[in-house]
Chain A
Amino acid sequence: GESVGLHLPTLSVQEGDNSIINCAYSNSASDYFIWYKQESGKGPQFIIDIRSNMDKRQGQRVTVLLNKTVKHLSLQIAATQPGDSAVYFCAVSHSGGGADGLTFGKGTHLIIQP
């Protein structure tokens, strides 16, 4: 099966700096990757996704990088703002993996220092 790990349970950054959150996965057949943001007391919200035929995808202030060789995924947040404070999860799935959906990492809590 798949296992998904995050390197740091907590990351503290200064407001305005860039943040990088990392994730590692185990199954080389994984081909779909998502980052979620979960604010306190709320359900996870989709931020950005990437498929295995790409190695980089950009959204508004966020970039996801995928390195399939080392099975590593990262989320970069540019110019971090107080509203970015949340727990960030990566999630992974693979085609033909069945309806049981995504495997989630445990999350990194991003703390923004003023």
Chain B
Amino acid sequence: DVKVTQSSRYLVKRTGEKVFLECVQDMDHENMFWYRQDPGLGLRLIYFSYDVKMKEKGDIPEGYSVSREKKERFSLILESASTNQTSMYLCASSLSSFLNTEAFFGQGTRLTVV
């Protein structure tokens, strides 16, 4: 089974802190994604990556950056956390850009910025 693991289930951070959310997948998938999920807004794509060291902006990249130094790991960085970044963050991976296949999700990180 594909496993996508996010480093934390719950995080509480202070406004202005730099926050790292880590995600690891174990099935050699090319694509990795970061979403945030908010009530009434569904899943919104923040950033995605289709290869090591490659990254592309999603629908709501402002206030975020990402890093993919290794194929299995995709990190989301909040440079200076703000209260409007309080949300559920979901990491996902999928096999390839050339094949339509399902995305596999991690268990989510619920981030609260105070």
Which one of B12-20, B65-73, B79-87, B100-108 contacts A?
B100-108
Minimum-distance CB pairs A-B, first 7: A43-B105, A99-B50, A106-B42, A32-B100, A99-B97, A104-B43, A44-B105
On chain B, which size bracket covers the interface?
A: 20 to 34
Chain A 84-112, CB-CB to B under 8 Å as 1, else 0, gives 00000101011100111110111100000
Say yes or no: is A42 at the interface (Cβ < 8 Å to chain B).
Answer: yes
Say yes or no: is A15 at the interface (Cβ < 8 Å to chain B).
Answer: no
Indicate if the CB atoms of A45 and B105 lie closer than 8 Å.
yes
Residues in chain B within 8 A of chain A (CB atoms): 4, 30-31, 33, 40-43, 45, 48-50, 56, 58, 90, 92, 94, 97, 100, 102-108
With A43-B105, A94-B100 given, name 6 new contacts (CB 8 A): A42-B107, A42-B108, A49-B102, A95-B100, A100-B45, A100-B48
Query: Can you name 27 A-B pairs with beta carbons within 8 Å?
Result: A34-B102, A42-B108, A43-B4, A43-B92, A43-B106, A43-B107, A44-B90, A44-B105, A46-B102, A46-B104, A49-B102, A51-B100, A89-B43, A93-B100, A95-B100, A98-B97, A99-B30, A99-B56, A100-B45, A101-B33, A101-B48, A101-B92, A101-B94, A102-B103, A104-B42, A105-B42, A106-B42
A72 to chain B, nearest CB (A): 18
Inter-chain CA distance A104–B58, complex, in Å, is 13
With A31-B100, A43-B107, A46-B102 as given contacts, are A99 and B43 in contact (CB-CB < 8 Å)? no
Residues in chain A within 8 A of chain B (CB atoms): 31-32, 34, 36, 41-46, 49, 51, 89, 91, 93-95, 98-102, 104-107
From B51, which residue of chain A is reached at the shortest CB distance? A99
Indicate if the CB atoms of B103 and A101 lie closer than 8 Å.
yes
Inter-chain CA distance A43–B108, complex, in Å, is 6
Indicate which residue in A32, A42, A100 contacts B58 across the interface (CB closer than 8 Å): A100
B26 to chain A, nearest CB (A): 15
CB neighbours of B105 from chain A (8 A): 36, 43-45
